[in-house]
Amino acid sequence: MKLQEFLVETWMTEHENDCIYNLTDTCVSCMTLKQLSDLCQQDFMNDLMSIKVDYGPIVGSDRLKKAILGLYQTGTVDNITMTSGTINANELILMSLLDSGDHVVTMLPTYQQLYSFPESLGCVVDYVYLDEKNHWLPKIEDFQKVVSQKTKLICLNSPNNPTGTFIDQQLMKEIIKLAKENDCYILCDEVYRGTIDHKLAYSASDLDENVIVTSSLSKVFSFAGLRLGWIKASKDVINLINYRRDYHIISNGPIDDYLASIILEHKDIILKQSEEICLENKKYLKKWLEKENHISCVIPKHGTVGFLKYDLPIPSQELCERLQKEVGIFFVPGSCFDHEYHLRFGFGNDPQMVKEGLNVFSQWLKQFDEVA
């Protein structure tokens, strides 16, 4: 098993702690426990102090599972199991369902795990290519061209990292129908699923019980550091995952379980705050783009990220390195997603910092107007 370098994660590790303006982070501004306590109007420190720090409920407490089910329209506690973040949830599914030689279909660009990891297992991977001219939206015909009776798994990321692409219900139903016709699984990474117009976006798992979805407290819930994720799937798949998870994480621990329950029991307050932050940054980016000749973007309605396109004759990695060194602006280059001349933009950071960072970016871009 030989893995390709995980380009976006390597880049984040090497660059995210040495910047002034983080314009690329995928998480909505993370909170302290004090901020959580104030937001929820609940003092939980005494409860934390009394928790016995053993392994905790191995597959997650019923309290936590019921809180997670509050994010969905269907399912029971038997349809949920806990993981260490969404990345571990995806890994457990890929390792449990796939064997060498299996056929996998995924979108591109997307999170590299969803194609490099199956390739490391010896799978054959085909792609549905997202077209920027079509607002990064796929069509059912794109899936029909690559899905066949040989397909074992269709991997989706909706909303998508890095484009923000959100697969609407009609297209998702058509993909589900195609999967059933070809007797294959669907895995939908929904970690960027949030609210739109104060309403939680639909989950693919609520359209069909055989769709597997993953998510976590990262991104829209502002608690990436808890490393608390989950899988929602049929009982048979959950049982399969639970057999394998003993080799990987055993359990998340009682403190994480308790805090995750608090967070999800107050999901409406947290999601409202996240929506307001992202919406403010999206509105400002739209205004900013109107004045910039070199940058364009399909601004997504959902999720916490978008994909800026630029027309400068500079490869994206070089551009990002120059920006960070010269003015302290941090972006992830499009090359990390196999798409040159693009930059991943994050909508979740403090709006004041985002505005300042974009204004500094504008000043930096003026040198290319002068050259022209």
Range 167-191 average pLDDT: 98
Out of 92-96, 242-246, 327-331, which region has the weakest mean confidence (pLDDT)?
Answer: 242-246
- The burial class, CB within 10 Å (0-12 / 13-18 / 19+), for 199 is exposed
Q: What share of the chain is helix, strand, coil (3-state, %, to 5)?
A: 45, 15, 40
Are 259 and 298 in a shared domain? no
Whether residue 361 lies inside any domain: the answer is yes
Q: Is residue 371's pLDDT more than 60?
A: no
Percent with pLDDT over 70 in the chain: 99
Are 19 and 43 in a shared domain? no
Whether residue 2 lies inside any domain: the answer is no
Are 168 and 302 in a shared domain? no
Whether residue 291 lies inside any domain: the answer is yes
The answer to whether 103 and 80 have CB atoms below 8 angstroms apart is no
Q: Is residue 59's pLDDT more than 90?
A: yes
Q: Is residue 202's pLDDT more than 60?
A: yes
Are 282 and 260 in a shared domain? no
Give the CATH number for residue 317.
3.90.1150.10
Are 291 and 235 in a shared domain? no
H helical segments located in 147-231: 169-181
Q: Is residue 372's pLDDT more than 60?
A: no
Are 246 and 284 in a shared domain? no
Report the interhelical angle of 351-371 vs 267-289 (nearest 10°). Answer: 20
> In the prediction, which pLDDT does 369 show?
86
Q: Is residue 187's pLDDT more than 90?
A: yes
Whether residue 14 lies inside any domain: the answer is yes
Task: Report the DSSP pairing between strands 151-157 and 103-108.
Answer: parallel
Q: For residue 327, what are the domain limits?
A: 7-32+268-371
322-347 per-position pLDDT tens digit:
999 999 999 999 999 999 999 999 99
Range 285-307 average pLDDT: 96
- In the 8-state DSSP scheme, what is residue 201? P
Whether residue 1 lies inside any domain: the answer is no
CA nearest 301: which of 150, 178, 137, 152? Answer: 137
Which phi and psi angles does 332 have, rounded to 5°? -95, 125
> In the prediction, which pLDDT does 2 show?
83
Beta bridge partners of 296: 309
Of 204, 233, 267, the position where a domain reaches its end is 267
Are 238 and 320 in a shared domain? no
Are 219 and 346 in a shared domain? no
Are 365 and 261 in a shared domain? no
Whether residue 135 lies inside any domain: the answer is yes
pTM equals 0.96
> Please, which pLDDT band fits residue 1 given cuts at 50, 70 and 90?
confident
Are 28 and 51 in a shared domain? no
Are 304 and 194 in a shared domain? no
Average pLDDT of the residues of the chain: 96
Q: What is the DSSP string of 280-303?
A: HHHHHHHHHHTT-SSEEE---SSS
Whether residue 127 lies inside any domain: the answer is yes
> In the prediction, which pLDDT does 370 show?
65
Of 216, 238, 267, the position where a domain reaches its end is 267
Give the CATH number for residue 75.
3.40.640.10
Whether residue 117 lies inside any domain: the answer is yes
Of 233, 267, 301, the position where a domain reaches its end is 267
> In the prediction, which pLDDT does 286 show?
98
What are the b/e assignments for 31-66, b being 16+ CB within 10 Å? beeeebeeeeeeeeeeeeeeeeeeebbebbbebbbe
Alpha carbon 193 to its chain centroid, in Å, reads: 8
How far, in Å, CA of 5 to CA of 94, rounded? 18
Q: How many domains does the chain have?
A: 2
For the chain, how many helices (H) and strands (E)? 13, 15
6-32 per-position pLDDT tens digit:
999 999 999 999 999 999 999 999 999
Are 248 and 316 in a shared domain? no
